[in-house]
Structure 1
Amino acid sequence: MLIKLLEVLSGERLPKPTKGRMRIHCLENVDKALQFLKEQRVHLENMGSHDIVDGNHRLTLGLIWTIILRFQIQDISVETEDNKEKKSAKDALLLWCQMKTAGYPNVNIHNFTTSWRDGMAFNALIHKHRPDLIDFDKLKKSNAHYNLQNAFNLAEQHLGLTKLLDPEGQHTHTHTHRFSLRAASQVLDNAIETEKMIEKYESLASDLLEWIEQTIIILNNRKFANSLVGVQQQLQAFNTYRTVEKPPKSGERACSML
């Protein structure tokens, strides 16, 4: 479904999905989608195919939002009030946030990532529209976890905004977590490579078995010639079989046994 979504939104053809319902097939298909996004220079920090396959709601929602932002919102143009220039929808939204939070202490919005991690910007936006919900002067920039939790809870309870983020999701991941993701990615790559080797083995074994069955039929149905020329031709054909045709098949048999 992720591959189909990207094809519809981007208008491009992605690699054909791998058939099968095993976990390895699911991981490989999601990996194809993520690889396409990387080729489109879409930044996916600390996200692997296993996160989507395992049903991580936060990362899945984040991925869908990233796709919407890249293939739909990014292409929308918004005119400024004086109609002197046009901005992308993303830039217009950023400008709106800056205007709404102008003058709030410890709030400096210049992007949609690091500017929000301490929670002050979220609280400032809520306070701007509902000052009765927050005593903004009591918030401390150093208490990021409380700020984020406070903003998300108030938005859900009083503004009808479903909590799609959690405070931990706004913090920078530790080196250990990044290492774990890289290790998991390596395991996935190895598993995919093993799956390809199994498919190659099955194809090789199937072809070899078919050749053996056909050769047995030919040998069982052979008739010996009654002339010297005929015997010589049969002998030459046998030598060709023994020296040219059989050796590579013997090698395939050895590989399949390994």
Structure 2
Amino acid sequence: KREASVLRMKEALNLLEGEGITLPHDTIQQILSGDRSKICNILWNILYQYAVNKKSLSSENQKKSAPISELIYLEELYDWCSKLTVTYPEVRLTDFNQSWRDGLALSGVLEQYDNYRVSYVTIKEIESTSERL
């Protein structure tokens, strides 16, 4: 069972790499460790790189040569997350720190992409913030 999980993770990482998203060599071990903090960091890394790569491709297509600062990428990522979570009244995004600590913002973002596996309502009902994450 573990071997099958590792194989699926390797396939997923290869797909991400094909999209220009690179992760540390020990990503699979970090996921298998079950450390929620490390897993959240991996997810943020993927989201951030996706936003950066998407903007870079968009800029290339528009033949813009001026580099865009990292702050603009973060602002765009923040705007994207805000749009995804606007329908969740308990989620109030104001930054990339405090706004994410209760797990609800991340749950809202993830539910937008896979509401079969992630249920915001179910996660919201969990009283312990550490259990939500």
Please give the TM-score of this superposition, normalised by the length of structure 1: 0.24
Higher relative contact order (CA 8 A, sep 6+): 2
Structure of greater Rg: 1
